[in-house]
Amino acid sequence: MKHILTTLLCLSIGLMAQAQTESIIQVTGQSEVATNPQIAVFTYRISANEKNYDTAVETMNTRVNSLIGQLKKSGFKEEEIKTSQFNIRESKIYNQGKVSGEEYIASQTLVVKFAYDVKKLLNVLNTTTAKASAPNLSISFELSEAQKELTRTVLLKAAMKDALEQAEILSLQAGYEIKGVKEISHYANNAQPMAKTMEFDMVRSMADSNTSSYQPSDMVVTDQVSVTYIIVKKS
Protein backbone atom coordinates (compact mmCIF):
# COMPACT_ATOMS: atom_id res chain seq x y z
CA MET A 1 0.00 0.00 0.00
CA LYS A 2 1.44 3.37 -0.97
CA HIS A 3 -1.02 5.64 0.68
CA ILE A 4 -4.55 5.99 1.93
CA LEU A 5 -6.49 9.15 1.34
CA THR A 6 -9.83 9.98 2.84
CA THR A 7 -11.97 12.78 1.52
CA LEU A 8 -15.05 14.67 2.51
CA LEU A 9 -16.83 14.49 -0.83
CA CYS A 10 -20.52 13.83 -1.35
CA LEU A 11 -21.45 15.00 2.11
CA SER A 12 -25.10 14.49 2.87
CA ILE A 13 -26.45 15.59 6.19
CA GLY A 14 -29.96 15.34 7.47
CA LEU A 15 -31.40 16.00 10.88
CA MET A 16 -34.84 14.46 11.16
CA ALA A 17 -36.97 13.82 14.18
CA GLN A 18 -37.69 10.09 14.51
CA ALA A 19 -39.42 10.46 17.85
CA GLN A 20 -39.42 13.04 20.55
CA THR A 21 -35.91 12.11 21.67
CA GLU A 22 -34.27 10.66 18.49
CA SER A 23 -32.70 12.40 15.52
CA ILE A 24 -30.37 11.11 12.83
CA ILE A 25 -27.47 12.39 10.76
CA GLN A 26 -26.41 10.79 7.46
CA VAL A 27 -22.87 11.12 6.09
CA THR A 28 -20.86 9.56 3.26
CA GLY A 29 -17.39 8.31 4.13
CA GLN A 30 -14.88 7.84 1.32
CA SER A 31 -11.49 6.18 1.02
CA GLU A 32 -8.79 5.71 -1.59
CA VAL A 33 -5.86 3.31 -1.88
CA ALA A 34 -3.02 3.34 -4.40
CA THR A 35 -1.29 -0.01 -4.84
CA ASN A 36 1.04 -1.57 -7.41
CA PRO A 37 -0.75 -4.35 -9.36
CA GLN A 38 0.86 -7.78 -9.28
CA ILE A 39 -0.84 -9.49 -12.24
CA ALA A 40 0.18 -8.93 -15.88
CA VAL A 41 -2.46 -9.58 -18.54
CA PHE A 42 -1.41 -10.25 -22.14
CA THR A 43 -4.23 -9.98 -24.68
CA TYR A 44 -3.24 -11.15 -28.16
CA ARG A 45 -5.29 -10.38 -31.26
CA ILE A 46 -4.58 -12.60 -34.24
CA SER A 47 -6.03 -11.81 -37.65
CA ALA A 48 -5.83 -12.99 -41.26
CA ASN A 49 -6.88 -11.28 -44.50
CA GLU A 50 -7.71 -13.55 -47.45
CA LYS A 51 -9.80 -13.38 -50.61
CA ASN A 52 -11.61 -16.61 -49.68
CA TYR A 53 -13.74 -17.17 -46.53
CA ASP A 54 -12.40 -20.66 -45.77
CA THR A 55 -8.82 -19.61 -46.45
CA ALA A 56 -9.15 -16.67 -44.03
CA VAL A 57 -10.40 -18.98 -41.26
CA GLU A 58 -7.70 -21.56 -42.01
CA THR A 59 -4.90 -18.97 -41.98
CA MET A 60 -6.16 -17.47 -38.73
CA ASN A 61 -6.44 -20.91 -37.09
CA THR A 62 -2.87 -21.70 -38.15
CA ARG A 63 -1.65 -18.48 -36.52
CA VAL A 64 -3.71 -19.11 -33.38
CA ASN A 65 -2.31 -22.64 -33.03
CA SER A 66 1.20 -21.28 -33.56
CA LEU A 67 0.71 -18.73 -30.78
CA ILE A 68 -0.75 -21.35 -28.44
CA GLY A 69 2.35 -23.46 -29.05
CA GLN A 70 4.57 -20.48 -28.26
CA LEU A 71 2.66 -19.76 -25.05
CA LYS A 72 3.06 -23.37 -23.95
CA LYS A 73 6.81 -23.04 -24.49
CA SER A 74 6.67 -20.03 -22.15
CA GLY A 75 5.27 -22.28 -19.43
CA PHE A 76 1.52 -21.74 -19.74
CA LYS A 77 -0.80 -24.71 -19.42
CA GLU A 78 -3.50 -25.13 -22.04
CA GLU A 79 -6.26 -24.32 -19.54
CA GLU A 80 -4.51 -21.02 -18.72
CA ILE A 81 -4.80 -19.83 -22.33
CA LYS A 82 -8.24 -18.31 -22.87
CA THR A 83 -9.63 -17.83 -26.38
CA SER A 84 -12.52 -15.51 -27.19
CA GLN A 85 -14.04 -13.04 -29.65
CA PHE A 86 -13.83 -15.07 -32.86
CA ASN A 87 -14.97 -12.85 -35.72
CA ILE A 88 -14.97 -12.91 -39.50
CA ARG A 89 -16.23 -10.17 -41.77
CA GLU A 90 -16.21 -9.19 -45.40
CA SER A 91 -14.31 -6.03 -46.33
CA LYS A 92 -13.72 -4.07 -49.51
CA ILE A 93 -10.23 -3.58 -50.92
CA TYR A 94 -9.44 -0.06 -52.11
CA ASN A 95 -6.81 0.99 -54.62
CA GLN A 96 -6.26 4.73 -55.13
CA GLY A 97 -9.65 5.47 -53.63
CA LYS A 98 -11.55 2.96 -55.78
CA VAL A 99 -12.92 -0.46 -54.86
CA SER A 100 -10.68 -3.07 -56.48
CA GLY A 101 -12.01 -6.20 -54.81
CA GLU A 102 -13.18 -7.85 -51.60
CA GLU A 103 -11.55 -9.88 -48.86
CA TYR A 104 -12.43 -11.67 -45.63
CA ILE A 105 -10.87 -10.66 -42.32
CA ALA A 106 -10.88 -13.34 -39.62
CA SER A 107 -9.75 -12.58 -36.06
CA GLN A 108 -9.60 -14.12 -32.61
CA THR A 109 -8.34 -13.10 -29.17
CA LEU A 110 -6.14 -15.05 -26.74
CA VAL A 111 -5.59 -13.98 -23.12
CA VAL A 112 -3.04 -15.14 -20.53
CA LYS A 113 -2.40 -13.85 -17.00
CA PHE A 114 0.67 -14.27 -14.80
CA ALA A 115 2.38 -12.83 -11.74
CA TYR A 116 4.35 -9.85 -13.01
CA ASP A 117 8.12 -9.67 -13.07
CA VAL A 118 10.38 -8.26 -15.78
CA LYS A 119 12.10 -11.57 -16.61
CA LYS A 120 8.80 -13.37 -17.04
CA LEU A 121 7.41 -10.56 -19.18
CA LEU A 122 10.46 -10.58 -21.47
CA ASN A 123 10.39 -14.37 -21.70
CA VAL A 124 6.76 -14.31 -22.82
CA LEU A 125 7.51 -11.56 -25.34
CA ASN A 126 10.50 -13.44 -26.73
CA THR A 127 8.54 -16.65 -27.28
CA THR A 128 5.30 -15.17 -28.63
CA THR A 129 6.47 -12.76 -31.32
CA ALA A 130 7.16 -15.14 -34.20
CA LYS A 131 5.97 -14.03 -37.63
CA ALA A 132 4.08 -17.32 -37.89
CA SER A 133 1.43 -15.88 -35.56
CA ALA A 134 2.14 -12.12 -35.97
CA PRO A 135 -0.14 -11.03 -33.12
CA ASN A 136 -1.00 -7.55 -31.95
CA LEU A 137 -0.62 -7.33 -28.19
CA SER A 138 -2.30 -5.37 -25.42
CA ILE A 139 -0.57 -5.44 -22.02
CA SER A 140 -2.50 -4.53 -18.90
CA PHE A 141 -2.12 -5.02 -15.16
CA GLU A 142 -4.61 -5.90 -12.45
CA LEU A 143 -4.72 -6.65 -8.75
CA SER A 144 -4.21 -10.19 -7.51
CA GLU A 145 -6.98 -11.83 -5.49
CA ALA A 146 -4.94 -11.30 -2.31
CA GLN A 147 -4.51 -7.61 -3.16
CA LYS A 148 -8.24 -7.24 -3.85
CA GLU A 149 -9.12 -8.73 -0.47
CA LEU A 150 -6.55 -6.63 1.39
CA THR A 151 -7.53 -3.36 -0.29
CA ARG A 152 -11.21 -4.12 0.31
CA THR A 153 -10.59 -4.44 4.06
CA VAL A 154 -8.40 -1.33 4.23
CA LEU A 155 -10.85 0.73 2.16
CA LEU A 156 -13.88 -0.22 4.24
CA LYS A 157 -12.10 0.59 7.52
CA ALA A 158 -10.90 3.93 6.17
CA ALA A 159 -14.33 4.84 4.76
CA MET A 160 -16.06 4.03 8.06
CA LYS A 161 -13.47 6.08 9.96
CA ASP A 162 -14.03 8.99 7.59
CA ALA A 163 -17.80 8.78 8.06
CA LEU A 164 -17.51 8.73 11.85
CA GLU A 165 -15.14 11.71 11.91
CA GLN A 166 -17.55 13.73 9.77
CA ALA A 167 -20.54 12.78 11.91
CA GLU A 168 -18.75 13.68 15.14
CA ILE A 169 -17.67 17.11 13.86
CA LEU A 170 -21.08 18.01 12.45
CA SER A 171 -23.03 16.68 15.42
CA LEU A 172 -20.85 18.62 17.84
CA GLN A 173 -21.39 21.83 15.88
CA ALA A 174 -25.16 21.30 16.11
CA GLY A 175 -25.06 20.53 19.83
CA TYR A 176 -25.57 16.78 19.45
CA GLU A 177 -23.57 13.65 20.17
CA ILE A 178 -23.61 10.24 18.51
CA LYS A 179 -25.61 7.54 20.24
CA GLY A 180 -25.31 4.69 17.73
CA VAL A 181 -25.56 3.49 14.11
CA LYS A 182 -28.96 3.17 12.48
CA GLU A 183 -28.06 2.09 8.91
CA ILE A 184 -25.02 1.44 6.67
CA SER A 185 -25.03 1.36 2.85
CA HIS A 186 -21.98 0.27 0.87
CA TYR A 187 -21.05 1.39 -2.66
CA ALA A 188 -18.08 -0.53 -4.03
CA ASN A 189 -15.90 0.86 -6.82
CA ASN A 190 -13.72 -1.55 -8.78
CA ALA A 191 -10.27 -0.70 -10.12
CA GLN A 192 -9.98 -0.74 -13.89
CA PRO A 193 -6.92 -2.43 -15.43
CA MET A 194 -4.41 -0.22 -17.23
CA ALA A 195 -3.74 -1.26 -20.82
CA LYS A 196 -1.20 -0.45 -23.50
CA THR A 197 -1.72 -1.81 -27.01
CA MET A 198 1.26 -2.57 -29.22
CA GLU A 199 1.36 -3.52 -32.88
CA PHE A 200 3.39 -6.57 -33.89
CA ASP A 201 6.48 -4.59 -35.01
CA MET A 202 6.63 -2.78 -31.65
CA VAL A 203 6.30 -6.05 -29.73
CA ARG A 204 9.02 -7.63 -31.87
CA SER A 205 11.32 -4.65 -31.28
CA MET A 206 10.83 -4.86 -27.50
CA ALA A 207 11.57 -8.58 -27.53
CA ASP A 208 14.67 -8.17 -29.73
CA SER A 209 16.11 -5.48 -27.45
CA ASN A 210 15.47 -7.71 -24.42
CA THR A 211 14.20 -4.70 -22.48
CA SER A 212 10.81 -3.59 -21.32
CA SER A 213 10.06 0.06 -20.64
CA TYR A 214 6.48 -0.71 -19.72
CA GLN A 215 6.22 -0.95 -15.95
CA PRO A 216 3.00 -1.13 -13.96
CA SER A 217 2.18 2.10 -12.17
CA ASP A 218 0.00 2.43 -9.10
CA MET A 219 -3.63 1.47 -9.50
CA VAL A 220 -6.05 3.65 -7.55
CA VAL A 221 -9.01 1.94 -5.90
CA THR A 222 -11.78 3.86 -4.14
CA ASP A 223 -14.71 2.94 -1.96
CA GLN A 224 -17.45 4.67 -0.02
CA VAL A 225 -20.08 4.01 2.60
CA SER A 226 -23.19 5.90 3.60
CA VAL A 227 -23.79 5.76 7.35
CA THR A 228 -26.83 6.96 9.26
CA TYR A 229 -26.08 7.70 12.91
CA ILE A 230 -28.55 8.18 15.75
CA ILE A 231 -27.77 11.40 17.60
CA VAL A 232 -29.09 12.97 20.78
CA LYS A 233 -28.91 16.45 22.26
CA LYS A 234 -25.92 16.94 24.51
CA SER A 235 -26.93 17.18 28.12
Q: DSSP letters of 178-223?
A: EEEEEEEEEEE-PPPPEEEEE-HHHHHHHHHHT-----PPPEEEEE
For the chain, how many structural domains are there in total?
2
Contact 226, 185 (CB under 8 A): yes
Kindly tell me the sign of the dihedral angle through the C-alpha atoms of 106, 112, 117, 119. negative
Does residue 168 fall inside a structural domain?
A: yes
Cα–Cα distance for residue pair 99/102, rounded to 1 Å: 8
Whether residues 226 and 168 share a domain: the answer is yes
Does residue 68 fall inside a structural domain?
A: yes
Residues 170-227 pLDDT 10s: 999 999 999 999 999 997 666 555 555 555 555 556 555 555 556 678 888 899 999 9
Whether residues 30 and 95 share a domain: the answer is no
- From 81, 114, 142, the end of a domain falls on 142
pTM of the predicted model, to two decimals? 0.70
